[in-house]
Structure 1
Amino acid sequence: MDNFFTIIGGMGTIATELYIKQINQKTPTKNDQDYLDYCLVNYSTIPDRSSYLMNKEENENPLPYLLKIIESYGALEPKFFVLTCNTAHYFFNELEKASPVPILHMPRLAVEEATKQYEKGTRVGIIGTEGTIKNKIYDGFILEAGFELIHPTLEIQQMVSTLIFNKIKQNNELDEVLYNQILAKMFEELNCEVVILGCTELSLMEDLANYQNEHVIDPQNVLAEKSVELALRYRQEK
């Protein structure tokens, strides 16, 4: 198979399923052959990224697992890798060094999208796993873009963690009421002008809401757009 890309997924699996739906919906098609060629690695048994980052002494490091994927699937010569987990971008530099092909950087792409829509000085909120927030995976990109960075309060973070882990990951429950309460607190209590969803489980919630809030940026949706754009470009160069 030529001109394909490889998706490093399974973190979590339902969120990866949404990414597949997104790229399929964004691909212009008239028949089966128009869809993109890609390889999905649904590595669901990889250790939890946020748990490791919050307690490295007690939890297994996901990095060796991610590096093994890069080694194994890089040998197949994809055009690029896609990493469908925000928290896993903590390891991006190590993965990039080990990869023979480019890896799309979801947080960077999301902030680049924000710069197209918002002026410098805009109050940009970020919500995601505790690992993503405390390890500042988005912070540098937001600040470099000239935005004012807004972190969730402890109360909001606890609500986000409940939604991600207790509701979605553990019970496959998309709690729309809780999701809307979180956004209301970010917009109304913290005066955010835009909120970036720094977790692909949160992407599931925004998809459920049919992307009706124009002041929410879903990085996985942005990643899907870029994936399709690149894949179609490589197909034309064939």
Structure 2
Amino acid sequence: MQNVVGIIGGMGPLATVDLMSKIISYTPARRDQDHIHIIADNYTQIPDRTTAILGKGTDPTPYIVQSAQRLQNAGAEFLVIACNTAHFYFEIVKKSVSIPILHMPLETARFAQENNFRKVGLIATDGTIKTKLYQKSCEHYGINVIEPDKEMQEKVMQGIYAIKASNLDTGLLCLSRVANKMRENGVAAIIAGCTEVPLVLQSSEDIRIIDPAEVLAKMVIRIANGTDKEFQIV
């Protein structure tokens, strides 16, 4: 009997669909009934997380809590958050429900450790960089995180906004420059800490791109199927 996963989504809608798509794609299914039971709350009315973190917008915490409780009441047995920056509010959301919630940055850091990456680069939005979500998660696993300098971070944001505007060529140009700079500094893997990044940056012989949504999707499958011994749903 599979465990039901609930996705706190809408941040943004495409990130939610991307996570669902990855869960479906990586599930070893031969028929519809072999797939994971997913309940997704594509709650697009949740206020912008980065703006709030920078002290310029509405606090999204009550909205995220509402989504988590809605999913629990709908029958979800564990939850995931389909947004990197929203994990800034993780502890408050966790206390609002009685079911487990997976922490995407921590799972990504654990993946990096299991694959022997001791020094990783981080490409993410200003908001995610500011929250130190990935830096603290990686520190927990003894991994050193290299952030872009000010000039390179401006390139990151330029690239991310280009991708959001469907200008993938410009996005690739900007983010590739940052990735190459990190590789020159001895980084063997880069955490794509924004859902737009993996749309243009792919792993190569020179560097590994770690997609947190992919890591999370594979973890969801293991938990739902009861094959992850370190994560038990009581």
Residue matched to 2:144: 148
Contact 2:123–2:194 (Cα < 8 Å) also in 1? yes
Letter of the 1:215 counterpart: R
Task: Provide Cα deviations, 1:94-152, integer angstroms capped at 9, x if missing partner.
Answer: 01111121111000000000111126xx3222221111111211112212322222111
* 1:1-238 correspondence to structure 2 within 5 Å: 3-54=3-54, 56=55, 58-118=56-116, 122-164=118-160, 166-169=161-164, 171-174=165-168, 175-188=171-184, 190-206=185-201, 209=202, 211-212=203-204, 215-233=208-226
> What is the CA–CA distance in structure 1 between the aligned matches of 2:26 and 2:138, rounded to whole Å?
26
- Identity fraction in percent: 34
SS in 1 for 2:133: coil
SS in 2 for 1:68: helix
Task: Give, in angstroms, the shift of residue 212 of structure 1.
Answer: 4.0
Unaligned runs of 5+ in 1: none
Structure 1 window deviating more from structure 2 (106-115 vs 74-83): it is: 74-83
SS in 1 for 2:226: helix
Task: Give, in angstroms, the shift of residue 45 of structure 1.
Answer: 2.5
SS in 2 for 1:72: helix
Contact 1:127–1:160 (Cα < 8 Å) also in 2? yes
User: For the structure 1 residues 212 and 18, does the alpha-carbon distance in structure 2 shift closer, same or farther, using more than 3 Å as the test?
Assistant: farther
> What is the CA–CA distance in structure 2 between the aligned matches of 1:128 and 1:101, rounded to whole Å?
29
Using the size of structure 2 for normalisation, the TM-score is: 0.88
Letter of the 2:175 counterpart: Y
Using the size of structure 1 for normalisation, the TM-score is: 0.86
Letter of the 2:143 counterpart: F
Unaligned runs of 5+ in 2: 228-232
> What is the CA–CA distance in structure 1 between the aligned matches of 2:47 and 2:204, rounded to whole Å?
33
Task: Give, in angstroms, the shift of residue 176 of structure 1.
Answer: 2.3
Task: Provide Cα deviations, 1:204-227, integer angstroms capped at 9, x if missing partner.
Answer: 334xx3x44652211111000001
Letter of the 1:17 counterpart: V
Letter of the 2:139 counterpart: L
Task: Give, in angstroms, the shift of residue 66 of structure 1.
Answer: 0.2
User: For the structure 1 residues 116 and 167, does the alpha-carbon distance in structure 2 shift closer, same or farther, using more than 3 Å as the test?
Assistant: same
